[in-house]
Amino acid sequence: MVLKLKLLLSQEIIQSRLEVGGKAYSLAFLSSNGFRVPAFSVVQLVDSDQMLPALSEIEDFINKSASRLPDAKLFAVRSSASNEDGTEHSFAGMFESVLNVSKDHLAQAVLKVFQSLHSDRIQVYSNNTQSARMNVIIQVMLNPDFSGVAFGMDPLSGRRDRYVINSVKGLGNGLVSGEVNADYFEVEKETIVAKRWVDPSSKEALGEAEILQISLVLTQLKELRGRPQDIEFCFEKGVLFLVQSRPITQLHKKLDPSGERCIWDNSNIIESYPGISSPLTFSFVSKSYKGAYTLFSKYLGVSNAVVQNNEEVFLNTLGYVNGRIYYNLKSWYLMLALLPGYRINARFMEQMMGVKEKFDLPKSESISLLKAYTEVSKVILMMIYRFAFMKRIRDRFVALLESTLEEYNALSYSEMSAHKLMNAYRQFERKLLNEWKAPLLNDLFAMISFGMLKKQCDTLQIPDFQNIHNDLLCGSQDILSVEPIHRTLAIVYQIEESDSLMALFRENSAEKIWSQLRLHPNLYPNLFASITSYLKDFGDRCMGELKLETTSYSQQPSLFIQVVQSYVRKGISKNQFNGERENEIRFKAEEAVKQATRRNPLKRIWFNAILRKTRDLVSARENLRYERTRAFGIVRKIFHAMGKLWYANHLIENEKDIFFLTKEEIFEYIEGRSTTRSIKALIELRKAEKHEYEKERVPSERFTSFGIFHHGNDFFQIPLSETQLQSLDGKLQGIGCSPGRVRARVRVIYNPEEADALNGDILVTRSTDPGWVILFPSAAGILVERGSLLSHSAIVSREMGIPCIVGISSLLKELQTGDWVEMDGANGTVFKIERP
């Protein structure tokens, strides 16, 4: 079979890079744009069907095409495969190149390059060579003084604002193959910022003029080709020639460390939004945070003008990382910096707020010290007033919340149109969600007051009470988070008093039980009344209660019946949880304080005043979190109704598909502002992404990003603190929250639905939300990887008198179900022990 060969001159290359190959196409591009390129021609194998020509065919072809070859004594014969020098794969050094080839040996060199398409190393490097085609470049061979490679970015660090140049004396084939060392230069903004020579004493190296000339070429090529380039160059008799230019590969995986730095953290917010949250939940929460903290900043004395100038700070308080919600610490730091007092005492405020990272602040908000002191004085007076009347402020907020919830709970969402549901949400947002200042203010005062209490306890130096400030907060009777447990156990007690009810709950499914109770309320009127009352008061308190996609107990009561069933079947009763232990812990701590202050009555008075205020604020903090849950419950009802309406109208395939859209996308689709008609296709894309998130590792608790967030950033960094917080001698260290020493088996649980009860095991988990409280009564102790002294698990465990430690780095890496440990909830230590 005779194969057809074709020879193209550089100026004749007008085909796509797939036809002539990446290298030839780039050389033609360089030449046509005024860059010096050694003269070349391209041998094409036309309609080869993957067959290679014989040596004799190539010899005949070259002899007939001699007039179209470059005029030279020696040639460089190089590959130009259709898949070479691409953005994903460069095939650098994979194909053959033959240098210093005379005319008599051109045919052999051309055949050798053709054959390299099918070499073993190519098969290993890439699996996509089956459809590739090879072209061969015949180019004038230069006799360079210097050769080298240069990158239009730093290929190691990823910095886009820095160029890297390597050069050697003579030919650069040894440099490309890695056989010889090269002189090294870095250029940034037309300035050489780093130099490293193989032989510092040698004067035979590129000069500053040549280095800056290469730098200019890199800049020009980046502008022309739209991407940073990897080039090979030669200097012959002082003239710069380019012999190759290709895009730097895998650029989408290389982050730019010179880009804007952000730090992301979910150590606290994971308690509210554990695991993967839906796009709808994130869009709602993100907007809620923006509105709440915009108003709160104004409440703390930040002027309207400053807030408006920094709108993007409030807009970016949260991030969405592989489906999980994170705090953007840079935005929180900048919000802190906007407060009037920051100009006076930045370090103190950073320490008070627990800020560990520093960021560059906007200079536009800098004010004089005199103005800063004036503004701070106003804020201090205002905050003292609000601190004194915090209860009145909370009561006004709760009254507004109660009246608003009563109004919106009375609405029939199933009968509303899409526009009415949308407007109901917007009115609810304006009326209540934008009035969330009181809970935020209470949080701030609770944090300050708790810190003051701890400091006062430290000054007393009471022996054998390492965390006495925690012990003093045990036994509060006014925290709503514990009330669902009491009410549930009371329902269990009612069931235990009746043989027929015990049989009903032991022998039937939760769905059947609820159906029978609902259809025959007079059969067990007291029990039915207790359950319906519970659902009315606490129907929104469930696992993932702040996620809109969560189905609450009030929406599906059989879920609550399952909880009651688990208590009945495991024999968990109110006798196991009578509050005596936490009252004893509190009493002992109070007696210790009395003894420590017996000779200083003024100090005792001051201490008790701080203690009373801290108890009030911490209890209110937890209770107001439940009010947030109730408010979010209204939003959940609105969007659940929206999902049912869209499903009924064939807009989506499942009523829960609505949660794969953002709030803005839903409203835009309703109002005619959507940029896509294919809402189902968008939902399928989001479902596929969620599936990927579920298969991937969980992102780190804290990590740093640079530049474009989804561009080469590593979400799985292990921060230094994670290893630094590990204790020595095989023990783990966390934050002791509720005292008590326990030896028991651990059970690792990622979702509370995985277990009905713990049967005396120690609960080990990544984070908890209020819905986890159903497992607490059956736990011997609680170990949580995330959290702080004021997190939900810490507060509720203190109330229930269950030993608890939070903030244990690498907990889930160190422990697995079945391990035995000894935990000390007072000092925060966990030891792995042998099974008794």
817 or 467, greater pLDDT:
817
Q: Residue type for 762, please?
A: I
β pairing state of 781-784 and 804-806: parallel
Q: Any residues with CB less than 8 A from the CB of 650 and at least 6 apart, and which?
A: none
Coil/strand/helix, residue 240? strand
Is the pLDDT assigned to residue 263 strictly greater than 80? yes
- Residue with more model confidence, 737 or 617: 617
The contacts of residue 428 (CB under 8 Å, 6+ apart) are 404, 408, 634, 635, 638
pLDDT for the residue 128: 47
In sequence order, the β-bridge partners of residue 138 are 41, 77
Unique residue bearing structure tokens 């046509």: 32
* Residues whose CB is less than 8 angstroms from the CB of residue 604 and which lie 6 or more positions away in sequence, other chains included: 593, 594, 597, 598
Q: For residue 163, give both structure tokens.
A: 């160029």
Distance between alpha carbon 576 and the CA centroid of its chain, in Å?
Answer: 40
What distance in Å separates the CA atoms of residue 779 and residue 801, rounded to the nearest whole number?
Answer: 11
pLDDT bracket for residue 234 (50, 70, 90): very high
Confidence of residue 726 (pLDDT cuts 50, 70, 90): very low
pLDDT for 125 equals 43
Among residues of the chain, what percentage have pLDDT more than 90? 40
pLDDT (mean) for 221-242: 93
pLDDT score, position 60? 87
Task: Please report the pLDDT score of residue 2 as a whole number.
Answer: 44
Give the tens place of pLDDT for each residue, 315-364: 999 999 999 999 998 898 888 888 876 655 555 444 444 445 555 555 54
178, pLDDT greater than 70: no
Q: Residue 697's beta-bridge partner residues? A: none
Do 699 and 324 contact (CB within 8 A), yes or no? yes
Confidence of residue 647 (pLDDT cuts 50, 70, 90): very high
488 phi, psi to nearest 5 deg: -65, -45
The pLDDT of residue 131 is 59
Token reading at 550: 């969560």
Output the pLDDT for position 353: 43
Q: Is the pLDDT of residue 651 over 90?
A: yes
Give the chain's mean pLDDT. 84
Rounded Cα–Cα distance for residues 635 and 281 (Å): 10
pLDDT band at 582 (very low <50, low <70, confident <90, very high): confident
Highest mean pLDDT of the ranges 106-110, 717-721, 774-778: 106-110
CA 387 to chain centre: 35
SS3 of 605-665: HHHHHHHHHHHHHHHHHHHHHHHHHHHHHHHHHHHHHHHHHHHHCCCCCCHHHHHHCCHHH
Residue type, 271: E
Q: What is the pLDDT of residue 10?
A: 67
Reported as a pLDDT band with limits 50, 70 and 90, residue 380 is confident
Whether the predicted pLDDT of 277 surpasses 80: yes
In this prediction, residues 613-640 reach a mean pLDDT of: 91
The confidence band for 720, taking pLDDT boundaries of 50, 70 and 90, is very low
pLDDT at 49 over 60: no
d(CA 355, CA 358): 8
pLDDT of residue 1: 37
DSSP secondary structure string for all residues of 9-28:
EGGG--S-HHHH-HHHHHHH
Cα 618 off chain centre by: 29
Q: Is the confidence at residue 86, as pLDDT, over 70?
A: no
Q: Is pLDDT above 70 for 121?
A: no
- Least-confidence region, from 642-646, 795-799, 806-810: 795-799
Please state the rounded mean pLDDT for residues 94-106.
87
The whole-number pLDDT of residue 43 equals 87
Q: Which pair of structure tokens corresponds to residue 490? A: 């009371």
In what order do the strands lie in the sheet containing 762-765? 731-733, 829-833, 820-824, 741-748, 762-765, 781-784, 804-806, 735-738
Min mean pLDDT across 114-128, 438-452, 787-801 is at 114-128
Q: Tell me which DSSP letter residue 2 carries.
A: P
Q: What distance in Å separates the CA atoms of residue 243 and residue 257, rounded to the nearest whole number?
A: 30
